[in-house]
Amino acid sequence: MYKELNTSTRILMGPGPSDAHPRVLKAMSTPLIGHLDPEFVTIMDEVKTMVQETFITKNHLTFVVSAPGSAGMETCLVNLLEPGDEAIICINGVFGGRMADIAERCGATVHKIEKEWGTVVSPEDIKKALDKCPKPKLVALVHAETSTGALQPLKEISDLVHNAGGLLMVDAVTSYCGMELQVDDWDIDAIYTGTQKCLSAPPGLSPVSFSDRAVKALENRKTKVQSWFLDLSLVKNYWGGAKRAYHHTAPVSSVYALRESLRIVLEEGLENRWKRHQEVHHVLKTKLESLGFRYLVEEQYRLPNLNSVFLPEGNDEALIRSKLLNDYNIEVGGGLGAFAGKIWRIGIMGESCTLNHVNMLISALEDIKEFKN
């Protein structure tokens, strides 16, 4: 009744997942070992160190949440916020909105900085928000907004947040391992990411990291964290400490894959990897513009790896997108929210960031007779 798994060989150029490296897929099929096996503890230690290296941080409290990026977001917020706290949440796309929703569920008073989708938050915006809420417990921003393709500068804002005594929380789901991201240098207090973007591992895990300042805030909580599964005071004894305490059963195979994807990133080198994403982006950009595509985001704030573009006039985006998928096996992403039906989100992330990927997409568009450029 249920047949053997038989999926099409997709070329993944949407907002994630990206194509996985064969080495990562192979690692996934390694026979299981126990989640408390000394060999698995060594693997967790290695993964932790590699996550520290890729976040460019010495943060001791660095580990991997056993669930996708959204759960990483929730881990940061439920641990750092409690009823009575004030938070400033910057919203310029889907994921800022999600952070505000979660922060409100934590009982915090949320001050929203709402910006037009596709734009970024300026230091001036932060200053204005701090005038109204001078002592926020936390200020949260999205480094790379996957719904719009906007890249948020962080360094100047970091100083403003810390001068006000707040914690800086950052969503780095789409930027991690694809563009410059400096957790210690930019003084980020809480950060989460996903595995299925520029890391090119399967989706399902969320690397996170917390500064000593954030750890102090955790220790000073007056109430229990509302989530047991995401409570750092419990999880940290599983991912660190002298004696590993059982918390939950770690997703062994996904950790194998994460380990292999991190090895691949470090073999390439972070800076080389950032450069590759920039270079392939420039080729893609030139070719897309020559076909009549127009970028949503102003050039200086554009993500290299997630290209949000309006189609040339007169195209039925859903039709062309389904032709790309069905006739060429190429996945690109549609728009979200107000941009649904209006833009495409073209991802060139990790293993999907090659000249061949760009050429496959551009050539397919040139082939499709309904595509009007």
Name the binding residues: 345
CB atoms within 10 A of CB 295: 17
For its own copies, which is the closer residue by CB, 47 or 157?
Answer: 47
**In the numeric block, which tokens belong to residue 326?**
């069905």
Q: Which of residues 37-66 bind its own copies (CB under 8 A)?
A: 37-39, 43, 46, 50, 66
Classify the phi-psi angles of 270: left when phi > 0, otherwise alpha if psi is within -120 to 50, otherwise beta.
alpha
Which residue in 11, 19, 18, 30 sits closest to 257, CA to CA? 30
Tokens 């909580």, residue located: 221
Q: Could you give the strand order of the β-sheet that contains 330-334, starting from the edge strand earlier in sequence?
A: 11-13, 330-334, 343-347, 306-310, 294-295
Report, in Å, the least distance between residue 314 CB and its own copies.
26
Q: How far is the CB of 181 from its own copies (least distance, A)?
A: 19
CB of 131 to its own copies, least distance (A): 29
User: Cβ closer to its own copies: 126 or 361?
Assistant: 361
* Per CB under 8 A, 252 contacts its own copies: yes
Return the number of the residue (69 or 166) whose C-beta is nearest its own copies.
69
Show contacts with its own copies in window 186-245 (CB under 8 A): 194, 196, 202-204, 224-229
Give the nearer residue to its own copies in terms of CB position, either 14 or 118: 14
Shortest Å distance, C-beta 177 to its own copies:
15
Contact (CB, 8 A) for 48 and 62:
yes
Which of the stretches 210-218, 247-255, 292-300, 313-321 binds its own copies when contact is defined by CB under 8 A? 247-255
Q: How far is the CB of 12 from its own copies (least distance, A)?
A: 6
Residue 263 or 287 with smaller CB distance to its own copies:
263
Q: Is 67 in the site for its own copies (CB under 8 A)?
A: yes
Annotated binding site for substrate: 345
- Residue nearer to its own copies on the CB measure, 30 or 359: 30
x/- track of binding to its own copies for residues 259-298 (CB under 8 A)? xx-xx--x--------------------------------
Interacting positions 165-184 with its own copies (CB under 8 A): none
Which C-beta is closer to its own copies: that of 11 or that of 161?
11
**Shortest Cβ 186–its own copies spacing (Å):** 25
345 DSSP β-pair partners: 308, 333
Interface segment toward its own copies; rule CB under 8 A; list 5-13, 54-62, 152-160, 354-362:
5-13
Q: Does 321 bind its own copies (CB under 8 A)?
A: no
Please confirm whether the linkage preceding 17 is cis (ω < 30° from 0): yes
Site string for its own copies, 329-368 (x = CB under 8 A): --x----x--------------------------------
11-30 residues in contact with its own copies (CB under 8 A) are 12, 14, 16-20, 25-30
Contact (CB, 8 A) for 193 and 172: yes
Contact with its own copies (CB under 8 A): which of 2, 124, 241, 299? 2
Query: Site size for its own copies, by CB under 8 A?
Result: 75
Nearer to its own copies, 12 or 126 (CB): 12
Q: How far is the CB of 300 from its own copies (least distance, A)?
A: 28
